[in-house]
């Protein structure tokens, strides 16, 4: 089963600054693997995707945070540029394995560049929180061979979110179960200002302790948003990295939920 690609939305902002730097900078190889859990009415599936590229040295994302941060932002998040990195060959296929299942990702090319993905009709049954091993065979002149074993993000249930809190009230976000210091929560509360389609969001990066507060000062336009436009997307992230010859393997495991607020 394939889902719309989100990995390029992560990769491109990471590499853009390095690509546009006018001065020569040290470069390295990066293998970025996304492991996203999809919960369907009949099953829970893993949607893996990988990209390999060479660019200037990057500051890599982390899932270890020490404070809650929320801000108002445009929705959807604007593209930060169209320049693509220099993608690398990582071999004929990339293996993704649990204790019971092994699936293979195969190279494909789209407007977002080159990715390794499951076949269009291939499903990957999955239990959130189990360990996954990613094996990259590597290719001459491309990305090196390497293996990384990771613990994936556990599932969670998001508590209800009020559509119209009082003017002096905050929104108390809750989710169960809480995570640990190796995971973080990302929450996007979306709403329409002057229109039914969402065009603004409150975006939060949160400590994964089961609770957070959005203060009233951030809720002014949310309270008066167009009825029927409010929705939420939330994800638990666990990020793991491993150095390999000439580069880094980075795995972002995500369990995602979305819901309509009104």
Task: Write out pLDDT tens, residues 196-205.
Answer: 999 999 999 9
**What pLDDT does 206 receive?**
97
Distance CA 44, CA 233 (A): 18
Would 137 be classed as within a structural domain? yes
Any bridge partners for residue 260, and if so which?
A: 231
Would 99 be classed as within a structural domain? yes
Residue 116, both tokens: 């390794």
Task: Write out pLDDT tens, residues 140-162.
Answer: 999 999 999 999 999 999 999 99
Would 57 be classed as within a structural domain? yes
**What pLDDT does 123 receive?**
94
Total domain count, the chain? 1
Would 212 be classed as within a structural domain? no
Q: What is the CA 242 to chain-centroid distance, rounded? A: 18
**What pLDDT does 40 receive?**
87
Query: pTM of the full predicted structure?
Result: 0.89
Residue 61, both tokens: 């994302």
**What pLDDT does 25 receive?**
60
Would 16 be classed as within a structural domain? yes
Would 200 be classed as within a structural domain? no
**What pLDDT does 2 receive?**
44
Which range marks the domain in which residue 92 is found?
A: 7-61+84-154+239-254
Pairing of strands 211-214, 247-260: unpaired
Give pLDDT < 50 ranges for the chain.
Answer: 1-8, 12-13, 15-22
Would 44 be classed as within a structural domain? yes
Distance CA 203, CA 234 (A): 10
**What pLDDT does 82 receive?**
57
Would 67 be classed as within a structural domain? no
């Amino acid at each position: 089963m394939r889902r719309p690609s989100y990995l390029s939305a992560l990769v491109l902002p990471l590499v853009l600054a390095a690509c546009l730097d006018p001065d020569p900078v040290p470069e390295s190889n990066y293998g970025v693997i996304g492991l996203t859990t999809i919960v369907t009415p009949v099953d829970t599936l893993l949607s893996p995707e990988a990209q390999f590229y060479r660019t200037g040295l990057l500051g890599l994302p982390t899932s270890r945070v020490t404070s809650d941060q929320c801000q108002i932002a445009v929705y959807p998040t604007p593209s930060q540029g169209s320049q693509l990195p220099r993608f690398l060959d990582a071999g004929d296929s990339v293996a993704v394995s649990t204790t019971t299942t092994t699936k293979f990702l195969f190279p494909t090319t789209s407007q977002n560049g080159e990715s390794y993905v499951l076949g269009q009709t291939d499903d990957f049954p999955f239990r959130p929180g189990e360990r996954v091993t990613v094996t990259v065979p590597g290719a001459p002149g491309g990305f090196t061979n390497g293996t990384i074993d990771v613990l994936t993000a556990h599932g969670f249930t998001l508590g209800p979110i009020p559509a119209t809190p009082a003017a002096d009230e905050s929104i108390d976000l809750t989710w169960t179960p809480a995570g640990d210091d190796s995971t973080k929560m990302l929450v996007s509360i979306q709403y329409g200002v002057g229109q039914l389609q969402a065009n603004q969001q409150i975006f939060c990066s949160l400590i994964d302790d089961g609770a957070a507060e959005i203060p009233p000062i951030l809720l002014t336009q949310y309270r008066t948003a167009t009825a029927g436009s409010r929705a939420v997307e939330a994800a638990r992230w666990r990020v793991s990295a491993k150095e390999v010859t000439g580069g880094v393997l980075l795995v972002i495991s995500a369990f995602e939920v979305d819901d309509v607020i009104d």
